[in-house]
Amino acid sequence: MIIVLRPDATEAQVNHIIEKVKVLGLSPHVSKGSERTIIGVIGPEDVLRITPLEVFPGVEKVIPVLSPYRLVSREFKKEDSVIDLGKGVKIGGKALVIMAGPCSIENIDRLYEIGRQVKKAGATVLRGGAFKPRTSPYSFQGLGKAGLQMLREVGSELDLVTVTEVMDARDVSLVADYADVLQIGCRNMQNFNLLKEVGVTKKPVLLKRGMASTVKDMLMSAEYILSGGNFSVILCERGIRTFEDSTRNTLDISAVAVTKQLSHLPIIVDPSHAAGKWGLVPSLAKAGVAAGCDGLIIEVHNHPEEAVSDGEQSLIPEKFSRLMAELKGIAGSVGREIL
Amino acid sequence: MIIVLRPDATEAQVNHIIEKVKVLGLSPHVSKGSERTIIGVIGPEDVLRITPLEVFPGVEKVIPVLSPYRLVSREFKKEDSVIDLGKGVKIGGKALVIMAGPCSIENIDRLYEIGRQVKKAGATVLRGGAFKPRTSPYSFQGLGKAGLQMLREVGSELDLVTVTEVMDARDVSLVADYADVLQIGCRNMQNFNLLKEVGVTKKPVLLKRGMASTVKDMLMSAEYILSGGNFSVILCERGIRTFEDSTRNTLDISAVAVTKQLSHLPIIVDPSHAAGKWGLVPSLAKAGVAAGCDGLIIEVHNHPEEAVSDGEQSLIPEKFSRLMAELKGIAGSVGREIL
Amino acid sequence: MIIVLRPDATEAQVNHIIEKVKVLGLSPHVSKGSERTIIGVIGPEDVLRITPLEVFPGVEKVIPVLSPYRLVSREFKKEDSVIDLGKGVKIGGKALVIMAGPCSIENIDRLYEIGRQVKKAGATVLRGGAFKPRTSPYSFQGLGKAGLQMLREVGSELDLVTVTEVMDARDVSLVADYADVLQIGCRNMQNFNLLKEVGVTKKPVLLKRGMASTVKDMLMSAEYILSGGNFSVILCERGIRTFEDSTRNTLDISAVAVTKQLSHLPIIVDPSHAAGKWGLVPSLAKAGVAAGCDGLIIEVHNHPEEAVSDGEQSLIPEKFSRLMAELKGIAGSVGREIL
Amino acid sequence: MIIVLRPDATEAQVNHIIEKVKVLGLSPHVSKGSERTIIGVIGPEDVLRITPLEVFPGVEKVIPVLSPYRLVSREFKKEDSVIDLGKGVKIGGKALVIMAGPCSIENIDRLYEIGRQVKKAGATVLRGGAFKPRTSPYSFQGLGKAGLQMLREVGSELDLVTVTEVMDARDVSLVADYADVLQIGCRNMQNFNLLKEVGVTKKPVLLKRGMASTVKDMLMSAEYILSGGNFSVILCERGIRTFEDSTRNTLDISAVAVTKQLSHLPIIVDPSHAAGKWGLVPSLAKAGVAAGCDGLIIEVHNHPEEAVSDGEQSLIPEKFSRLMAELKGIAGSVGREIL
C-alpha cells in the first residue's frame, strides 16, 4: 500500500497516519521528496484495506500494491490447475475442451439429436439451459427441473459431461444433483451468496465474466468460490459491454493472456454470447484457441428458426463440425490439441 | 417490428418470412424499394420477439419498434407514480425525499447518532446496510439480522422510514419484516429470481441500476417487479462503468430525464456510489436535483475514518447539513421542494 | 514514481534498476516487505517517465505519483482563472457565461435572428459553425470563410462574443481573424499540431473533451496550449462514449467537480451534444449549473426542421428563453449568477 | 428509413411528414398498426439523412435502413480488395503481410538493425514513427524529416516497404515523398481534413481505428479517403477504450469478422497498442491471424530499455522471430499463408 500525501499535508497529519499504520501492526516507510511525501506500507494489505485511509486528513490517494486475491493467483500456485470434469474429461491441460449445445433445453428429442451431433464433431461437454435468466419477465424462463432431467438423461446416454446454469442459491443442490458442472451466468458473477453456495459443493464451477467486470473482478469472484473450499473453477470470457454495437458484446480476447499471467485457473471463451450472431462465431472461436484458451463453449442448434432463445447466435451442426476441423489445426499450431 | 431483407434476398425467402408472420397471427406490410425490401409487422411484438427472425434466410436485420416493457411505461400510465413509503413520506410528487445514513450498520449507538443528525438536516429516510455485497470474500459482510434489528429500532425511535439491501431471495421475507423499503443493489439488478421475490411482497422496492445496464435494461428489471404485482418501485441512478477513472463510476445524469420520458416511476440519484469520493458528492447531489430527480440517497458517517465500508465516500453530518441547505434552494428553482 | 518489483526479482535486478534511477539524477528509496520490494523515486517524474521502466527485468509495474501536467494544475495556480473573452464578457468568475446559437451557420438572416433571440434571453456569446466536422463525406461541410464573415458581422451588430470551431492547423489564423474564441472540437482534442497552433495565438480557446478521453487526458491537451504560451483555455464537458444508447453521448457531470479540484481553468457544459435530443437539453443544462460549471454552450435554432445539421438537438428560442429563467434561479442557489 | 410515429400522433402530423417526404422526391409507405403508425421510405436515404425528421411533430424516432457508406461496402464491391504496397508486397490476398519495427525512429543504425532482424523473421513492411502524437507536450515528438530520411534509406537498402504516420495535413506531401504507406493514427481517424488530404494522394493509406469509434465510424472515415479518389485503404483494429484496465486498450477482435462482412477492404491487427505490454502481444497477434485478419503491425525494438517511446510494449527480435514461426502454422490452418 502506498499512501501519497497532499503537497500541503502537515507534520501532524503525517504523524497521525503513521500512528494509525503502526496501531494496525504494520511498519510505515516514509519517503520525503521535493513535491510530495509518500508512505509505503509493506506487509499484509488486508488489514489496511478495511481502513479508509483516503479520508484521513492530508491524504491525496492510496495505491494498493498487492492484488486483493490470494488463492486464485499464480503466486499461490505456480502450475496450471487441471480440473477433472468426470467422464474422462479434464480441462486446463494440453487438450482443449469443447462444450456445445443449445441455449435452452426445449425437449428431449431435440437435445438428444443436438448432443449426438456435437459429440460426433468432437465436443465432450453438453451445454443446455434449464433455468434461463431473461431480461424480460414475459420471455420463456426455461423448463426447470424437467430440463435438468433431460440433460442428465442425454448426458448419460451419450457419455457427455453436462453443464447448466444455476441462477438461485436455493437451486444449487438440485442442479448439482443433475449436472456435472455448475455454471454461474454473467449476470450473477457478483451474486456473492450464490458464489458462496457453489463454493461449498464439490462440483466444478464454470464462472462467466460479468458484462461490467474487469479481469480482476472476475478473479475476486472466483476467490469467493475457492475460499469456500471448492478449487475446481473454470473462468469464462464471454464479452464485456462497450459502445460498439455491431456485436452483442465485445469479446475481450486479451483476457485470456491476462488471466493466464495472473491465475492458475483454466479459462474458456464463449464466442456465441460475445458475438450474438452466428456468422461471427467461427472467427471468435478460432481467435480464442489461438490466444491460448483452454476450451470453448458454443451454442449449437439444429433448427435455429425454432429455437426458443438465442437462435440468432447458434451454429447449425454442419457449421459447428466444419469449425471443429479448423480449430484442430490451430490448436496444433499453438502446442495444444483437440482430441 | 421491421424486417430488413438482404439486397440479394430471393422471392422464396421473402414468402417464407411472410408466411411465418401470418402463422403467428400478424399482418406483414411489404415495401419494395430500389435497394432493399422491408417487411413491417405492426401489432403485438411479443409474439414475434420469441421467434429468431434474424436466422431466416434472406434477413439482414430485425428492428424492434415497440419497447419491450409495458407496465413501467408512460404509455401504460401517463401521470407520475407517487409511492407511499409509510410514516408520512411519499416519493414521486412535488416533495423530494432525501435518504441518508451509513454504508454499513456498525452498532446501534453510531446508527442512532447518524440517524439523529441526518433527520435534523432534513432527511426522512434512514439507509444502512445489514447484508453487504463485497467484492472480496475477506471483507466485512454486514451484521445480518442483528443489523436489521438495529435499523428498525432506530427508525422507530426517530420516526424515519428505513431502507436496506436484500441480496438473497431467501432473505426477502426477513428483510421485509424489519425494513420499510427493500433495496436491490446494482449487482443484483438482473438477479431475476430476487426481482420476482420482491415482486410478490407489498413493500416498496428501491431498484439500483446495474453498472453495465442501460436505462431500458433498468426498466425491464422494474417490469419484473411490477408484473409480479408490486407497483411500488423507485428507480435509482448510481453511475455506470466507463473508462473514466477519476470517479468510481460515471453518474449518468441524463438517465433522470430519459427515465421521466419513458416511465411513470420515480427516480432518485445516488451521488455517493457514483463519485466514490466524498469531495465530489455535493456537486453530484445538486446536479441530480436540478436534473429533476425525485430524491437522493447519500452516505453519511460521523467518523469516516472508522467506517467499516465506504468511508471515503461518506459525508460527515456537518457537510451533509450544509448541502441540504443548498439543495432546498435548487429544488425551489425547479418547482420542487424539500420539506 | 513507485516501482513495484516481482516477488521473484533478484538482487541483481534490483541493483540494475537502482543504478538506472541514480544515473538519471534521482534518489531511490528501497522498501523491502515480506511479499514485495518497492522502490520509491521522489522527485521530478518527467525524467523517469521517458524511461520504460516496465521492461526492466524484475519489474512488475510502475505507478506514477505525480500528475503529468503542470501549468493547468491547481498546484501551479491556486485561484480560479478568469478569462476575458472581450466585449465585457469574462468566464471563470461569479457570473456564468451562456453561449448559444445554431450548430451550422446557414445564412446571415437566420444567424442574425437566432443571435437576436438568444441575446434577448441572456446569452452573451454566439456560437455557429463555419467549418463542420462531419462523419460522412457527403454531409454539408459548412460555409467556410463566408460563414466566418457572417459570424463576425452578426457578432458586431449584436455586440455578442463569437465562438466557432477551427478544424485545421492551416485555418487557425483565418479563424482567429474573424472569431473571438477558437473552438477545438471533441474529435480534435488530441490533434496535437492543432493544439500547438492555437497555443501560439492570443485568442481564448474552447477545448472540448474527446469522446474517449479522461478528464486527465483533457488536462494534458490543455497543457499543450498553455505550454505554447496561451493561458486562456476554457474546458468543455460534452459527453463521453459509453454503452448507453438512449443519449448520443453520456454527459459526465462529475467532470465538472473533478476538473475544479485538479485545475484552475474554467469548465463549461455542452448539454446539446451530450443529449443529442432537444427534449433532454434543459435537464442537463440545469444539472451543469448546479454541479458548478462556469457556463453552458447550447444549440438554438429557430426552425429546427430546416437545420442543415443537429436540428434534433436544437432548442427553439422560446424553450431556450424559458430555460434561462430557471437557470438563473439555480445559479443563485449555488452562489453564482447569470447577468 | 423508417419513421416511427408517437402513439398520439395526429392525422395532420402524419400528413405533414408524408408531404415532406414527397417533396424530397421519395415515396412513403404508411403502415397503421394497433399501437403505432410507421412510415417506410425506401430509396436513396442520403437526401433524407440531411433532414432532421426527429424534430417533426409526432415523430418518435427515425431508424435508418441503409448504411451511410457506399464505396467501402461489400455491396459496392463483392470481392476482397487487394492493395499493392510496392516492392512486390500485396495485402488482402492469401498472403498475410507482417509490418514490424520500432515505435519511434531514433537513429539510423538502430533502425537498420531492427529492420534487418524483422526482415529475417519474415516481415515485409518496416514501421517507424517520425512524427509522434504524444499526450504530453513534454514528451519526445519524433525526429520529423530526418526520421523520414532514415526510414527511406533503410527501406531501400533492405528492400522493405515502409509505413509511417502523418499527423498533419500540411505534412502529407512530405511524408508521401519518403514513405510507401501513409498511416493515419487512431487520434486522427476523424481528422476529416487529413483524410481528405490523403484521399487525393496515390499512396496506400493505413487507417487506424479511433479509440471511441465503432466499426461503422471507421468505415465512414475510410469512405472519406475513397470518395477522394484513393481506393488503397487498409483498416487497422488497434483496440478501443473500455473500463478494463489490465490492458492499455481492449482489442476488439470481433472487428475483423464484422469488417469482412461489411467491407471489401483489408484489415490488419495491431496487438502492440492494444495490449500495451509486450508479454500479451503474442497471444493477441495469434488471435488476429486466427480471426482472419490480412496482416499485423507489431512494435519490435532491440533495446526496449532504451526506447524513447512504447518500450514496454515492444517485442525483442528473438521473441518476434519465435512468434512468426507460430503465426505461420496458424495462417496455414485458416487457409492463409505467411511468405
Sheet holding D59-63, edge to edge: D27-32, D37-42, D2-5, D59-63
Nearest CA in chain D to B250: D243
Residues 6+ apart with CB under 8 A from A216: A67, A68, A69, A262, D246
Instruction: Give the gap in angstroms from C-alpha D103 to the nearest C-alpha of chain A.
Output: 21
| Alpha-carbon gap: C287 to the closest alpha carbon of chain B (Å) | 4
Q: Are B286 and C283 inside 8 Å of each other by CB?
A: no
Q: Which of B29, B38, B65 sits opposite D65 (nearest CB)?
A: B38
Mean pLDDT of C314-318: 95
DSSP for residue A95: B
Rounded mean pLDDT, B243-258: 97
Cα–Cα distance measured from residue C299 to residue C133, given in angstroms and rounded to the nearest whole number: 16
Instruction: Count the Cβ atoms, other than its own, within 10 Å of residue D122.
Output: 18
Q: What's the gap in Å between the CA of D251 and the closest CA on chain A?
A: 7
Is the predicted pLDDT of residue C35 greater than 80, yes or no?
A: no
Predicted confidence (pLDDT) per residue in D50-90, tens digit: 778 888 888 988 888 778 899 999 999 999 999 999 999 99
Judged against a pLDDT cut of 70, whether residue A44 lies above it is answered with no
- Predicted local distance difference test score (pLDDT) of residue D175: 98
Q: Which of B31, B75, B243 is closest, CB to CB, to D40?
A: B31
d(Cα C67, Cα C219) in Å, to the nearest integer? 10
pLDDT over 80 (residue B51): no
pLDDT tens, residue by residue, C230-262: 999 999 999 999 999 999 999 999 999 999 999
pLDDT of residue C85 exceeding 90:
yes
CA closest to D216 among chain A residues: A246
Say which range, A270-284, B45-59, B66-80, D206-220, has the weakest mean pLDDT: B45-59
Cell (9 digits) for A289: 484457441
pLDDT tens digit string along D143-156?
999 999 999 999 99
* b/e sequence B230-268, b meaning 16+ C-beta within 10 Å: bbbbbbbbbbbbbbbebbbbbbbbbbbbbbbebbbbbbb
Pairing of strands C267-269, C295-299: parallel
Which is nearest to A228 in space by CA: A202, A266, A190? A202
Domains of chain D, first to last: 2-63 (3.30.70.1140), 83-333 (3.20.20.70)
Across the range A246-270, mean pLDDT stands at 98
Query: Does the predicted interface ipTM exceed a cut of 0.90?
Result: yes
Task: Please say if the pLDDT value at position C33 is more than 90.
Answer: no
C67 pLDDT exceeds 80? Answer: yes
Does the beta-carbon distance from C240 to B243 stay under 8 Å?
yes
Q: Please compute the mean of the pLDDT values over residues C23-31 and round it to a whole number.
A: 84
Q: How confident is the model at residue C44, as a pLDDT?
A: 67
> Where residue D178 falls among pLDDT bands split at 50, 70, 90?
very high
For chain D, say whether C50 makes contact (Cβ under 8 Å): yes
Mean pLDDT of B22-43: 81
Q: What is the mean pLDDT of chain B?
A: 93
Inform me whether the C-beta atom of residue A38 falls under 8 Å from chain C C-beta atoms.
yes
pLDDT at C71 over 70: yes
Taking the CA of residue B156 and the nearest CA in chain A, the distance in Å comes to 30
Span A86-134, pLDDT tens digits: 999 999 999 999 999 999 999 999 999 999 999 999 999 999 999 999 8
- Helices B254-262, C281-291: inter-axial angle, 10-degree rounding: 150
pLDDT higher than threshold 90 for residue D193: yes
Contact D140 C50 (CB under 8 A): yes
- For A283, residues 6+ apart whose C-beta sits below 8 A from its C-beta are A271, D253, D254, D256, D257, D290, D291, D292
Residue with more model confidence, D112 or A57: D112
Q: Give me the pLDDT at residue C311, please.
A: 81
* C45 pLDDT above the threshold of 70: no
Residues B86-109 have pLDDT tens digits of 999 999 999 999 999 999 999 999
Measure the CA–CA gap between A226 and A229, rounded to whole angstroms: 5
A192-236 pLDDT, tens digit each: 999 999 999 999 999 999 999 999 999 999 999 999 999 999 999
Q: What is the pTM of this model?
A: 0.94
Chain B residues close to C250, C-beta within 8 Å: 240, 242, 250, 252, 254
C20, closest residue in chain D (CA to CA): D305
| Helix (H), strand (E), coil (C) string for chain C | CEEEECCCCCHHHHHHHHHHHHHCCCEEEEEECCCCEEEEEECCCHHHHCCCHHHCCCEEEEECCCCCCCCCECCCCCCCCCEEEECCEEECCCECEEEEECCECCCHHHHHHHHHHHHHHCCCEEECECCCCCCCCCCCCCCCHHHHHHHHHHHHHHCCEEEEECCCHHHHHHHHHHCCEEEECHHHCCCHHHHHHHHCCCCCEEEECCCCCCHHHHHHHHHHHHHCCCCCEEEEECCECCCCCCCCCECECHHHHHHHHHECCCEEECHHHHHCCHHHHHHHHHHHHHHCCCEEEEEECCCHHHCCCCHHHCECHHHHHHHHHHHHHHHHHCCCECC
Residue of D nearest to B249 (CA): D243
Residues D35, B66: C-beta atoms closer than 8 Å:
yes
Closest C-alpha to A285, from A160, A164, A122, A93: A122
Separation of alpha carbons A264 and A262, rounded Å: 7
Residues 240-299 of B with CB under 8 A from C: 240, 242-247, 250-258, 261, 274-275, 279-280, 283-284, 286-292
